[in-house]
Amino acid sequence: MNRILIKILIVIWLIIAVGFTALLVYGIAYNKGTGDIFSSFKYGVEYSLTVQKDENIDLISLNKINLDFSSSEIVVQTTDEPNMRIVQKSARNLTDDEKFTVIKQDNEVTIKTNNLQKHFTIFNFGSSEQKIEVYIPKNYNKDLYIQSSSGNIEFNSDINLDSLSCIARSGNLVVENTINAKDINLKASSGNIDVESLISKTYKINTDSGNIKINSLVGSGELQASSGNIRVNYKDISEYSNVSAHSGNVNLVIPEGLSFEFNGKCTSGDIKSSFDLNYKNKKGNEATAQIGSALIKS
């Protein structure tokens, strides 16, 4: 092989290596998950999105909404209108097969996309950027299930539901206001969960690679981060709260006057709290506490 060509290839691979190293350093320095790091490239490019499909859906007699999108940013907000509205936007013209479909069966409605064409992309350049805007009537208070294979899920307004389940396989899950539901299940496989306020009877919040941050939490349930930090500000704990971080720090804020028993352990990292902890070792990754009458386990 020509020596000049070899030198050119070496330079190219060095540039790629330096770029990935810079991304890694950025992620470590600013506690960014993989979804955050690559979305910096994705959203750093200005996309001109145009409406591809806009449809109103009657929710009378329906008890469950299923949203299943393969590669789109999903933005959810409430509306004073009587019907649910779905708006699909894209940076390119979509074929009919790529536009969402609405399927009503029994007491459920499913909105999903199929047959998305594959496009060659590098760091999301040349990608088919899409956005799904979901407007849910304020008087709808039943079940909502959302799944995204690649893209963020965002809630931009207060919403009251019976049950909520959100799964972001590659992207962040962001709640800018308050979600109030009996049962809440939030999962981000590769991305952060950033919530302003959750009120529930039971909750289950999990990230495989990313951080969990909740500014106000009410209810009982579990929080788990396989590789990331957990930071929670409790407003009330009705029965219990189990917190687990395999590789990351745990920071909990408990309101004054709350009675509970605390047992905490993290594999890699330390535990911090606004109440006094009894650390079991010098590493600070295992601690106990008993506050008040200790009727609640955290």
**Closest among 155, 148, 195 to 170, alpha carbons compared:** 148
Q: What is the pLDDT of residues 90-110, one digit of tens each?
A: 998 999 999 999 999 999 999
At residue 206, does pLDDT exceed 80? Answer: yes
Region 162-168: mean pLDDT is 97
Query: How far does Cα 281 stand from its chain's mean position?
Result: 33
pLDDT value of residue 285: 78
pLDDT value of residue 115: 53
d(CA 146, CA 167): 6
The letter for the amino acid at 9 is L
Question: Binning pLDDT at 50, 70 and 90, where does residue 297 land?
Answer: low
At residue 51, does pLDDT exceed 50? Answer: yes
pLDDT value of residue 42: 47
pLDDT value of residue 123: 44
CB-CB contact of 276 with 219 (8 Å): no
Query: Regarding predicted confidence, which is higher, 254 or 69?
Result: 69
Region 249-258: mean pLDDT is 83
- Two structure tokens written together for 14: 């060095």
Question: Binning pLDDT at 50, 70 and 90, where does residue 81 land?
Answer: very high
Question: Binning pLDDT at 50, 70 and 90, where does residue 22 land?
Answer: low
Is the torsion defined by CA of 70, 75, 206, 108 positive or negative?
Answer: negative
d(CA 14, CA 20): 10
* Local structure of residue 297 (DSSP, 8 states): B
What does pTM read for this prediction? 0.77
Question: Binning pLDDT at 50, 70 and 90, where does residue 44 land?
Answer: very low
pLDDT value of residue 58: 96
Q: How many CB atoms lie within 10 A of CB 156?
A: 15
